[in-house]
Structure 1
Amino acid sequence: MVYRGMLRTGQLIAIKRCRQGSVQGGLEFNAEIEVLSRVHHKNIVNLVGFCFERGEQMLIYEFVRNGSLRDSLSGLSGIWLDWRRRLNVALGAARGLAYLHELVNPRIIHRDVKSANILLDESLNAKVADFGLSKPMDNSELILATTQVKGTRGYIDPEYQKTLLLTEKSDVYGFGVVLLELVSGRKPLERGKYLVAEVSSSLDRKKDLYSLHELLDPSIGLDTKPKGLDKIVDLAMKCVQEKGSDRPTMGEVVKEIENILHLAGLNPNAEAESTSASFEEASQDEFPPSLKEEELSLS
C-alpha cells in the first residue's frame, strides 16, 4: 500500500508500507534501501527515509506529483503527453537507467523496467522508481546467474527467461517495450497479444508511418507526422532484439534519443515545462489518506 503524507517541514512524501509478515516484501524493502541509499540522480526517485520499528517496514520517498507514465498513457492521470513530452520522458528514463548501469559502483540492474515504474514530477520529468527487484553487479561481472525469473509479463527479456542469466541488456529490453508504449499508448500485453510481437509483424519501413497506423497513438498528432517517430520505433526494435548482444547499451540509447531530439528541433538539456494543475483534482482519489503523524518514524 502506498500513502501520501507530509513531514513536519511541509515536504510531501509517498510512504510505501510492507504488509506485515510478508517475506517477499521484506526482501524488496532491504533491496530498495541498499540501492537508493547510494544513488543520487535527478531521474531516479529520491529515498527520504525509512521505518523499521514495531514490526513496521515503511519506505519514505519524495512525492512525485504526476503519478506514473502508465497512468498518463492510459488517461488515468488526466495528463496529456504530446510527442515532445514523450521524447523528454524517454530521455529522462534512459538517463536514469544509464546512470545505474554505467556510473554506480557496483552497477545496478533494475530488473523491472516498465511504464508503471517511471514516475513524472510536476514538470513531467521522468524518475525511475521501484527498486525492489534490482540486483547490484560487481564491475567484473558481465552476467548474473539467477534461480528464477523476476519482472513483469510483457517486459521480461526473452533471453533471460530462457537462460536465467541476467545482464544489463535485460533492462534495455524492458526500456524498448516502454518506447513502444510511448508511440502506441498501449499496454505491453493486452487480450493475450504482446505489443512487441504486434509491432514486429506490422512493421514495414518502406511505407508511411512504417505501416503502423492502427497501432500508433493518435493523440501524439499523426497528421503532422511527429519528427523522429520512425527513429524512436527503430530504436525500440533494436532494444527488443531476441539476443541481448544485439541490443544497444543504455548509454548508446541515451545518445540516440538526444540525436532524435536534436533532429526534432528540441533541446535535450532543456527542463520540461510545468504541467497544468488538472492532476490536483485527479490525485485526491488516487491515494489513500495520509498516515497519522505518530505512525511515521524515520530512521
Structure 2
Amino acid sequence: MDAATRRARLLLLLVAATVPAGLCQTNPDDAAALRSVMGAWTNYPSSWNSGDPCGAPWDGIMCSGNGRVTSLRLSSANMQGTLSDSIGQLGQLMFLDLSFNSGLSGTIPASIGNLGKLTTLILAGCSFSGDIPKELGNLLQMTFLALNSNKLTGTIPPQLGLLSKLFWLDLADNAITGSVPISTGTTPGLDLLTNTKHFHFNKNQLSGTLTGLFKSNMTLIHILFDSNQFTGPIPRELGSITSLQVLRLDRNQFAGAVPNITNLVNLNELNLATNKLTGSVPNLSSMNVLNVVDLSNNSFTASAIPAWFTNLTNISSISLSSASLTGEVPQELFNLPQLHEVVMSKNQLNGVLTMPGSIGTQLQTVDFQGNVIVDVAGISNYKKTLLP
C-alpha cells in the first residue's frame, strides 16, 4: 500500500469516527436518552421536534458513523429547565457544552459520572445549584471541566484529583465552601493534578490553608484563588512552579512573609493585594515579562520603593497602595516604556514628586494620594491624570 492510499484510508476512518448529524440513524438508546433530556427543557431548538436526532438532524448534535451521539453543544441557546439524569445514558458522549443558559437550574446529575468517554464538560454561566457530584471523579478521560458562574455550594470533592488528564479546572464564581482537598494515604486530592494548567477557584467562599497543595512538578499556568477566605502562609512551593504566568491570591487572609518567587520568570500577572502579608516587599527583579503587579493593602515592613521596579520594562500596571512605602519617588519610575498606570496611594512617600522631561508615552494615571509629598515638580511635562 503506497503512502497516498494509506493517507486516504486514514482520512476515511477519521471522517467515519465523528460525522455531523444528518448522515446516519441514531442508536435507539441514545435517541430515547436525548428525548428524555429534552423533556426537562423548554426553549430548546425547534429542530429537536423533528424525527431522528442524528438523521434529521438536531441542532448541536454530532454523531459517530454508527449513530452514537458523541457531542452535545447548545451554548447560549436560551434554554430553561433542569438537566435530566438521562444524560448519563449517552455512553459515547465525549463533549457536553450547555454553557450560558441561565435558565438551566437544579442540581448537576450524578449520572454524568457514567459518561466514561467524556473529555469536555462545560456548564459555565448557568444556574445550577447544590453540590459538585463526586461521581465526576469517574471521568478519567476528562481534559476540560468548567462549572464556573453557577450557584454551586458544598465542598470540592476530592475525587476530582483522580482526573489525571485534566488541563482546565474552573470552579470560579460559585458559593463553594471548605478547604481545597489534599490527598492522603486513602483519599485523592487536587495536589495530584500535575498535568493541569488552570486552577480557577476565585470568587467562592473557600477557606483553610493551601499547605500541601502545590508541588514542584506541577505545570500550572494560571492560579486564580482571589476573593476567598484562605488563611495561613503563601506556600513556598509556589516559587518552584516555573510555568506560572498568572498568580492571583488577592482578597484573602494570607499572612506572613511572601516566599521566594524569583524563579517565576514567566509570570506576567501577580496580585497579592488585600491580605495580611508582612515582611519585605517581594523581590520581583527576575520577572522580565511581568505586566501587572498589585501588592496593595498589606502590612509590609516600611521600605523605599524598590529600585528594581525601574528594570521591569514590560510592566504596564503597578499598584502598591497601603504597602508601607517610604522615602521619595524615583523619577525613573515614569520612564518605563509600557507603564500605563502607577498607584501608590496611602503610603508615607515624601519629598518632591518630580515628573521628568522624558515620560513613557503609555502612562495614563499617576496616583500618589494620601502620602506626605510636599510638592510636585515638572507637572507641565505630564498631561494625563495626576493625583499627587
TM-score (norm 2): 0.22
Structure (1/2) with the larger helix percentage: 1
Structure (1/2) with the larger strand percentage: 2
Q: Which is greater in Rg?
A: 2
* Higher RCO (C-alpha under 8 Å, 6+ residues apart): 1
TM-score (norm 1): 0.27
